[in-house]
Structure formats: structure tokens, C-alpha cells
Amino acid sequence: MPGRLTQDQKRQALLIIVVAALGYFVDIYDLLLFSMVRKPSLLDLGVAADQVLDQGVWLFNWQMGGMLIGGILWGILGDKKGRLSVLFGSIVLYSLANLANGMVTTVAQYAALRFLAGVGLAGELGAGITLVAEVMPKELRGYGTSLVAAVGILGAVVGYFVAHSTGWRTAYFIGGGLGFVLLLLRVGVVESGMFKRVASTHPNRGDFFMLFSSWKRFLKYLRIIAIGVPLWYLVGLLITLSPEFGKALGLADAPDAGKAVALCYSGLAIGDLASGLISQALRSRRRAVGGFIAFQVLATAFYFLAGGSSLQLFYLACFLLGLSGGYWALFVTIGAEQFGTNIRATVTTTVPNFVRGAVPLMTTAFLWLKGQGLAVPSAGLAVGAAVLALALWGLAGLDETFAKDLDYVEHT
């Protein structure tokens, strides 16, 4: 931390980074746990083996739909009531839903609880990144937000080991318990001073529709969402459905979804830390993200061209996909830096959840293309080409925001 911060401010900034990182850790643990226990949980609930794929996609879409709605609700609350209200409220909801997930007896119950868990999960990352961005010095905030994501993403790795050493119900119980333990760590975290100043002087906060009142503002919002969509293409499609893709690519033994998730998220953790460091070194958000999108094009090609050669190469492809998608924190940071304090939490919380909410669109497009006669790999590749092209369009129209002063508001 530079000398401009007092010792108390340094301690508070460090505490916020730690709490945001651990909150995201639990968030990712729960978010990806379903991908890892999808098959055993559905089979245990009596779903026929040939229906596991379709039922799994249906449940995943419910979870992502919950995140879409939750992103809007928590984002508005974060700008109206404060960032801390979201950090506390979101974790209570998804922890309760996690505990209840371990007690489901029907697929319908499972869907309802994955939806509620999705609503709860939607608030964690946006509120945490917003807080970190507002308390860190502007020249260094890329380090803080990257640390949050790099630590948080390891929740998927821990989820893999938990899912493979316990039953799927126990794995959900552990996730819920971790969430409530995290609440104890949040005692002592203070609200963003930047938000407090705006709260006392600017009544028009958390106006979601302000994003649509100006074409320039709306287009900027769309572009930010566009650069994040490829990250959930690789997680929501290529990794979540890795057993099906592996078999379709010609592997004799289907890949283990949990291992694919763990390897992907190990790559994501490394990538998120690297993207922050690269962005700081280049003093550019845009060039760092552009490099990672180009890398993702190559990693996607490797997945489809070499992933069917052997199980080892398939798992390597999963790791490389994760590494190439390691600009998630940078993407969310860009969202925080593009908009004023009065709607910053709204943007930073809704943007990643609209990206996650795009998963049902991608999976629906994938299933539709498959239903039209395309092979599984061809359908997956077609969706990937579309979202990567969309990301390049989004990045091309965004302004550079490295070291931008965030102490300002948006006007109608």
C-alpha cells in the first residue's frame, strides 16, 4: 500500500480484500458444486441415465436464471443501502439454500433451491469488487481485485476434493456451513467512504433504468457484458458438459466433470492473478483483456482439435481454457471503473450476472443446434465462435480505465 493511506486505512483495505476473497471462495464453491455433483445427485434422485444431460442443463438454467434476477436486486440494493448490506444478505441466502439443497428429494425441489441459491450467489462478487475498487488507491486496485478472484476461484478446487471425498448431500451441507462461518469474519468491515459521501449528497442511487436512459451509456454496458460472455461459455458449456463433450470427441472413457472443473478453475486462479499483474505492468485494462481473449481462441481450438486424442490432453485442454479465461476479475473491475459511484454497485453486480445469465441462451443454442443434426462438438464450436466474436466487438468500443479516478457520479 502506498504512503497515502494511514495504517488504519491499510488494515481496513486488507480486511476488505480478505473478506471479499473468502466470500468469493464460498460463492464459487457453491456455484460450481452443482457441476461436480450433477450426475450422481440426479441419478440418486431417480433420473434416468439418458435424461441426465437434459435435466442437468434444465437445473443449471434455473440456477443461472436466479443469478440474473439476483444481480439486479443486489446491485440496486448495493447502491441504495450500501455495499455491506449485499455482502451480508447474499451470503445468508445462498448458505440457507445450500443447506436445503442437501435435503432435496425431487428434481422440482432441486430446481427451486438452485434458483434461490443463484439469487443469493449473485451479490457476492459485485459487492466485493466494488468495495475493493473504492478503497484501494487507483493505481493499485487491479492488484486487489485480482487477489479477490485468484483466492476465490480456488473454491472450485476445494469443491472438487469435497465432492469426491463425501456424498453430494454432505458437500452441500459443508458449503452452507462455510457461508455462515464467513459471516463471523465480516464483523469489523466498514462501508466504502466513497459510497458514504455519495449517499449523503446524491439521492438518485441504484437507478437501474439509468443504464438505459442514454444510448452511449447503454452501449457501454452491453460492451462490458460482451467481453465477459466467453468466460461462461467455457465454464457453462465446455467444462460443465465435459463428460458429454469428451465422449463426443472420441474418448473411450468419459472425463470426470469434477476433475475438469478443478483443473479449469486452477487455471482460472492463475490466470486471474496473472491478468491483474499484466494489466498493472501494461498500465492498460484493454490490452490485457485483448491478450486473454486471443489466448482463449487458441485454447478453444486445442480443446476441440486435440481434446479427443487422450484423457490427459483433454484435461490439459480444460486447464488451458481456465488459464485463458483468467480475466474475470479484470472484466468486473472494468465494469466498476466505467460508471459513477451512484450506480457502480448496480453495474458491477449485474454485469457478471448477466454474463452468467447468458448461459441458458448458450446452452439452449447448443441444444437447438444439436437437435438440428449438428454433432455435439460442432454445435459447441459454433456457439463458441459467436461469443468470442461478440467479445472482440465489445472490447473494441471500450475506453481505457487504468488508474481512472472513481469519485464521481452519473447524471441522468
pLDDT in the model for residue 172: 94
Mean pLDDT calculated for residue range 38-62: 88
Check residue 390 and give left, alpha or beta (phi > 0: left; psi -120 to 50: alpha).
alpha
| 195 in a structural domain | no
pLDDT in the model for residue 116: 94
For residue 353, the surrounding DSSP H or E stretch is helix 344-357
Residue 318 CB partners (closer than 8 Å, separation 6+) = 238, 239, 242, 255, 260, 263, 264, 267, 303
Distance of CA 302 to the CA centre of its chain: 23
pLDDT tens-digit map of 110-126: 999 999 999 998 888 88
| 2 in a structural domain | no
| 401 in a structural domain | no
| 167 in a structural domain | yes
Distance CA 326, CA 170 (A): 30
Q: pLDDT: is 65 or 238 the higher one?
A: 238
pLDDT in the model for residue 89: 87
pLDDT in the model for residue 1: 40
Distance CA 225, CA 332 (A): 9
Helices 124-135 and 52-80 meet at what angle, rounded to 10?
A: 40
Residue identified by cell 479427443 is 308
Residue 340's domain comprises 7-185+208-396
pLDDT in the model for residue 402: 92
Check residue 398 and give left, alpha or beta (phi > 0: left; psi -120 to 50: alpha).
beta
DSSP 212: G
DSSP 50: G
Distance CA 232, CA 409 (A): 30
CB atoms within 10 A of CB 172: 28
Residue 288 CB partners (closer than 8 Å, separation 6+) = 275, 278, 279, 282, 327, 330
Mean pLDDT calculated for residue range 63-71: 87
Question: How many secondary structure helices (H) and strands (E) does the chain include?
Answer: 17, 0
At 47, list the grid cell: 433420473
Most distant CA atoms of the chain, gap in Å: 64
| 412 in a structural domain | no
Q: Are 205 and 344 in contact (CB under 8 A)?
A: no
pLDDT in the model for residue 188: 67
Residue 310 CB partners (closer than 8 Å, separation 6+) = 251
pLDDT in the model for residue 4: 61
Look up the pTM and report it.
0.83
| 119 in a structural domain | yes
Whichever domain contains 152, its CATH number is 1.20.1250.20
- Number of folded domains in the chain? 1
Which of 164-178, 194-208, 293-307, 333-347 is modeled with the greatest confidence? Answer: 293-307
Q: Report the percent of the chain where pLDDT is more than 70.
A: 98
pLDDT in the model for residue 412: 74
Q: Are 78 and 346 in contact (CB under 8 A)?
A: yes
Which of 90-104, 270-284, 386-400 is modeled with the greatest confidence? Answer: 386-400
Mean pLDDT calculated for residue range 8-32: 82
Alpha helices in 166-284 (DSSP H): 168-185, 193-201, 215-233, 242-248, 257-282
* Among the ranges given (14-18, 40-44, 348-352), the one the predictor scored with the smallest mean pLDDT: 14-18
190 pLDDT band (50/70/90 cuts)?
confident
Alpha helices in 81-138 (DSSP H): 83-101, 107-121, 124-135
292 pLDDT band (50/70/90 cuts)?
very high
What is the SS3 assignment for 398? coil
pLDDT score of 5 more than 70 = no
pLDDT score of 2 more than 60 = no
| 198 in a structural domain | no
Mean pLDDT calculated for residue range 301-322: 96
Residue identified by cell 452511449 is 216
| 104 in a structural domain | yes
pLDDT tens-digit map of 372-412: 999 999 999 999 999 999 999 999 999 999 989 888 888 87
At 14, list the grid cell: 486488507
CB atoms within 10 A of CB 116: 21
Distance CA 131, CA 133 (A): 6
